[in-house]
A and B are shown apart, each in its own frame.
Chain A
Amino acid sequence: NAGVTQTPKFQVLKTGQSMTLQCAQDMNHNSMYWYRQDPGMGLRLIYYSASEGTTDKGEVPNGYNVSRLNKREFSLRLESAAPSQTSVYFCASSERPSGGLNEQFFGPGTRLTVL
């Protein structure tokens, strides 16, 4: 099993450009998440999908959109990139939510720079 995979690994954008970060998991998990990691701030939740067909905002959703394409795939879109979105983005997945018991499994991350 590959676990959680993310593409691309690195990306450089100019301000105003758009892009989609792709995430896929092969563990048959129901829930998927997008986080951003910034120095000293830990990981902050951008959006999550508790189950196929549902998406909800996290702590820092502004400037982002998501699509839960199917059970395996959860994409994150930046419509008009800004320098403040320079960060490392992580996708994660977990089994059916059961009151917070289940651990999340993380992908290797996408390092995004917006000039």
Chain B
Amino acid sequence: AQSVTQLGSHVSVSEGALVLLRCNYSSSVPPYLFWYVQYPNQGLQLLLKYTSAATLVKGINGFEAEFKKSETSFHLTKPSAHMSDAAEYFCAVSEPGAAGNKLTFGGGTRVLVKP
């Protein structure tokens, strides 16, 4: 069975500072990996995804993530935080070839951006 661990349920950063959100996964096969963002009172939207092409993946709004197989990690970064980045972020995995394209989510990390 797959599982996803996001270290830190809450992260506080200053505007302009680096944003680093950690995600580690457990999977019997190299998975597909996703980062989603949820703004207050909204549904989730895709930030970026890793599907075994390049290990460094660039997404929307200046975010990027690096797949490291040896560390079973897929950490999300943004060099300079903006107030509009305040949201909850979810890491998710799916198993290639599995029926139904199902996602397994981590517990989420809420980001607070201080002026």
A residues bordering B, Cβ < 8 Å? 4, 31, 33, 35, 40-45, 48, 50, 56, 58, 90, 92, 94, 97-104, 106-109
Contact = CB atoms under 8 A, between A and B. Distances in A.
* A-B interface, 4 closest residue pairs, ranked by CB to CB distance from nearest: A100-B94, A106-B43, A42-B105, A97-B101
Task: Please classify the interface of chain A as helix (H, G, I), strand (E, B), loop, or mixed, using the class held by over half of its residues.
Answer: loop
B64 interface: no
B96 A99 contact: yes
B83 interface: no
A101 B51 contact: yes
B103 A106 contact: no
Contacts of A40: 9, 107-108
A76 to B, nearest CB: 15
Interface in B84-115: 90, 92, 94-108
B46 interface: yes
